[in-house]
Chain A
Amino acid sequence: MQYQRVRKIINIEKLRKKTVTIVGLGSLGSFTALLLAKNGVNLNLIDFDKVSVENLSSQIYSKNDIGRFKADALEDYLRKLNPEIGIRSSKEKLDSSSIKILDSDLVIDCTDNLETRFLIDSYCYRKIPWIHTAAIRTFGLVYVVNNSLSDLYNSDVSEDLCDEHGILNSAAFMAASIAATQAIKVLLNEPHEKNLIRFNIWNNAFDRIKVRPRKKKSIGIIKLCRNNYSINLGRRLNLDKIEKNNKVIFKNKNLIIIKPGIIINRNGYIIFENSSRGKIEKWLRSL
């Protein structure tokens, strides 16, 4: 009976077997989790941050949650809301050593920085479907990543921060609604939105922007924040060969992480942590 109305629209039985990872449990993450939990989707919740008083106007948490980990507070809230779903929560910071916690049927990026987004991109690239979301002030963005995030951010970008610019909860909720809807469509193998969705809820401006994979000749080293860089070589790499010549931190069949913080996707997508263009060029020559 619980899903009687929504069952008329979507295949709830199939959806209830799926697990979605939500990275970042602020405005976007907490609202997205709420919508998916109501539809019976199992959740894998990731955030290392704690609830603070300035979160209350734009995130799902209440005064009683202040000082608690967002992952714990949200898990408790969702268990009351829908005791039937499975929930895992993690208070780890997502980095190269913890990245395998992303394993699930779909990942939704609800973080607040490009560094973590590119980390998700490098892990999920051609392996796990994932959705990029962002929101600030009255603006929101949702993109079901078709190829790679570097199709969107292919040169140096400067980031804004919610702390500085604020966020209207309805903008975050709208982005969460679009992301949750697209997540359901991806999980049910329904045709999903291919364009980048970008809106300003304040004046109801709504753009559907076509995104093309980058041409190989324009591929370059992209500087992310804090001396992290990404590059997409656009070709498959031999991870076994890389394993032999480097100190390995982690390896599975799609990904290898080597010292000093280089995350290499088998499909040629690489993240360099705390590096420089000179060091990267030197490393690439040795590949």
Chain B
Amino acid sequence: MVKVFIERKNKKINVDAKDIDGLIKKLSINKEEVIIVKNNELTPRNEKLKDSDEVKFLSVISGG
């Protein structure tokens, strides 16, 4: 299980997923609105996942 944090919903969940793309589809995340962080590192969407990975979907912020 992958540990997931969705910032927009302030929600922490455990999800079974093989890669980031699968996770995005499973959680119906709008990929244009997030930056994706795996184990404290910015990660591309095709990245593979393994058990105990921690993934954060942080909202893109643009204001100034």
Chain A residues with CB under 8 Å of chain B are: 24, 26-29, 109-114, 133-136, 139-141, 151-162, 165, 167, 196, 198, 200, 207-212, 218
Say yes or no: A151 contacts B42, CB within 8 Å: yes
Say yes or no: A209 contacts B40, CB within 8 Å: yes
The distance from the CB of A180 to the nearest CB of chain B, in whole angstroms, is 15
Say yes or no: A152 contacts B63, CB within 8 Å: no
Bound form: Cα–Cα A192–B30 in Å? 33
- Whether B62 is near chain A, meaning CB under 8 Å from some CB there, is yes
Bound form: Cα–Cα A113–B62 in Å? 6
Q: Tell me the residues in window 12-62 of chain B with beta carbons closer than 8 Å to chain A beta carbons.
A: 30-33, 35, 37, 40-42, 44-45, 56, 58-62
What chain A residues lie within 8 Å of B35 (beta carbons)? 152-153
Bound form: Cα–Cα A55–B35 in Å? 28
Interface size on B, residues (CB 8 A): 20
Say yes or no: B60 contacts A212, CB within 8 Å: no
Bound form: Cα–Cα A2–B30 in Å? 51
Say yes or no: B37 contacts A207, CB within 8 Å: yes
- Considering the complex, give the chain A residue whose CB is closest to the CB of B31: A155
Apart from the given pairs A155-B45, A158-B30, A211-B41, 16 other A-B contacts in the complex at a CB distance below 8 Å: A28-B64, A114-B62, A133-B64, A134-B62, A141-B61, A151-B42, A154-B44, A155-B32, A158-B60, A161-B63, A198-B58, A207-B37, A210-B40, A210-B41, A210-B42, A211-B42
Task: Find B63's partner among A162, A200, A207 (CB 8 Å cutoff).
Answer: A162
Chain B residues with CB under 8 Å of chain A are: 7, 30-33, 35, 37, 40-42, 44-45, 56, 58-64
- State whether A29 and B40 are in contact (beta carbons under 8 Å apart), knowing that A139-B59, A158-B32 are contacts in the complex: no
Say yes or no: B63 contacts A209, CB within 8 Å: no
By Cβ-Cβ distance, the 7 closest A-B pairs, closest first, are: A136-B63, A162-B63, A112-B64, A210-B41, A159-B62, A158-B32, A136-B61
The distance from the CB of B64 to the nearest CB of chain A, in whole angstroms, is 4
User: Can you sample 19 A-B contacts with CB below 8 Å?
Assistant: A27-B63, A27-B64, A110-B64, A111-B64, A112-B63, A114-B62, A135-B64, A140-B61, A141-B61, A151-B42, A152-B35, A158-B32, A158-B60, A161-B63, A167-B63, A207-B37, A207-B56, A208-B40, A211-B41
